[in-house]
Amino acid sequence: MDYIREFWNELYFITMEMAPYLLIGFIFAGILYLLFPKNKVRRYMGRKRNGAVVNASILGIPLPLCSCGVIPTGLSFYRNGASRGSTVSFLISTPQTGIDSILVTYSMLGLPFALIRPVVALFTGITGGLVTNRLTKKEEYAESDSTASNEKLPSGFFSRIKAMLRYAFVEFLQDIMGWLIIGLLLAALIAVFIPDDFFAGKASNDILELFIILLAAIPIYVCATASVPIAAVLMLKGLSPGAALVLLMAGPATNVATITMIAKVMGRKSLMGYLSSIIGGALLFGFLINTFLPEKWFIVPEHMMSHEHEILPAWLSAGSAVLLVLLIINGYMKKFFGKKVSVENENTLSSDVLTLGVRGMTCNHCKKSVEDAASSVKGVDSAIVDLAKGKVSITGSNYDIEKIKSGIEGAGYTCKTD
């Protein structure tokens, strides 16, 4: 019973610390959604130019896309004319950071970590893009066989505000809430069951520790925001700042699904550029932090060490935590109870509906990417995705089914006719 009580206390405390900054991050995510629609981003990710690599990395850093969301987005850019180098740059820099994760990093790990994290993401993104351009310079670039993305923003001030809030507190939240919950639960479990001095004296400044964390982080996915409380708690247990940075870099940017998809769509050379930059950058910057930067820069803030110290007023933290929980509950309600509405709408479209099974869809970004890919084919009137069932229902006339399949697979998914 003592362990259970302590676990819930730790979970409550960590959620209280994260919630205010996370909510602010969601608002910024909605603003960025309005400022940087996909078609605008695509214009800066040109072809065969190293400058496009830099643009892609800079644009990717603030965007609030998790790994599962950035894959279809990045591959969509690639299919619409972006180079392999700029696509890899975007795929590396985007999931490592995001305005929400930067604010949460500041809250839980302090200002130095919050500043270093986007710098490292920028460096590794540019490096990965340049390496990929070098490795694939003799290869042909993918050509789009579809029209430009049909993503359109609503007109009118209040319509845009509504779209911003819906994206921030419904769509984006739905995409990360599962991983956010997992991150919080893992952080609370680590706080309870790992002794405070667990990492003390165990290669705390040794390159071996960096490799151990790297090997654990590469195959398993955790989003940029959810990785922060895990890193913070591990540092309280004695993990070095460099090893924590490795977790913050490699955890969000890599996982088995990402690796498989890049290899399938962009080729093994692009995958080599992607992985070598993430692995090399994580180990390099982890080593530099442990060796050359002052240790006092990376002391976990005092309010994380004791529940008696608070950086924000208790009422604000508690209110933010309650609001965050209510938003997550609302997200799950919309996700599950919204299925019936989608199916009913789908059944009223037409008696002649083409249904394709689509594998690999995990979030609202995936849903939008598949719908855009199908809708862009000539003759398609509408495309509606049912995430829960993993299928897309298409209506129209005189369309080419193979082009629809090709567009969906080009966005990074696999499909088959039901």
Q: Which H, E and C letters describe the chain, residue by residue?
A: CHHHHHHHHHHHHHHHHHHHHHHHHHHHHHHHHHHCCHHHHHHCCCCCCHHHHHHHHHHHCCCCCCHHHHHHHHHHHHHCCCCHHHHHHHHHHHHHCCHHHHHHHHHHHCHHHHHHHHHHHHHHHHHHHHHHHHHCCCCCCCCCCCCCCCCCCCCCHHHHHHHHHHHHHHHHHHHHHHHHHHHHHHHHHHHHHCCCCCCCCCCCCCHHHHHHHHHHHCCCCCCCCCHHHHHHHHHHCCCCHHHHHHHHHHHHHCCHHHHHHHHHHHCHHHHHHHHHHHHHHHHHHHHHHHHHCCHHHHCCCHHHHCCCCCCCCHHHHHHHHHHHHHHHHHHHHHHHHHHHHHHHHHHCCCCCCEEEEEECCCCHHHHHHHHHHHHCCCCEEEEEEECCCCEEEEEECCCCHHHHHHHHHHCCCEEEEC
Taking the domains of the chain in order of start, what are their residue ranges? 2-326, 349-417
State the Cα–Cα distance between residues 214 and 124, nearest whole angstrom.
Answer: 15
| Alpha carbon distances (Å) from 365 to 38, 69, 151, 354 | 11, 5, 12, 22
Q: What is the predicted pLDDT for the residue at 144?
A: 44
State the Cα–Cα distance between residues 43 and 37, nearest whole angstrom.
Answer: 11
Q: At what angle do helices 84-96 and 67-79 cross, to 10 degrees?
A: 160
State the Cα–Cα distance between residues 169 and 364, nearest whole angstrom.
Answer: 12
Give the tokens for residue 379: 């003759």
Give the tokens for residue 266: 């962009």
State the Cα–Cα distance between residues 335 and 317, nearest whole angstrom.
Answer: 27
User: In CATH, what is the architecture of 349-417?
Assistant: 2-Layer Sandwich (3.30)
Per-residue pLDDT of the chain (418 residues; tens, 9 = 90+): 788 888 898 888 888 877 887 888 788 878 877 876 666 666 667 655 788 899 889 988 988 776 666 766 776 677 666 788 998 999 999 988 888 889 889 988 989 999 999 999 999 999 999 999 889 876 655 444 444 444 566 778 889 899 889 888 988 788 778 878 887 888 788 778 877 666 655 554 578 889 989 988 887 667 788 889 989 988 988 889 999 999 999 988 887 767 877 887 788 899 999 999 999 999 999 999 999 999 889 988 655 555 554 556 888 889 999 999 999 999 888 877 764 434 444 444 444 688 899 987 877 777 888 888 888 888 898 899 888 788 899 998 888 888 888 888 877 788 876 5
Contact in structure between 117 and 41 (CB atoms under 8 Å): no
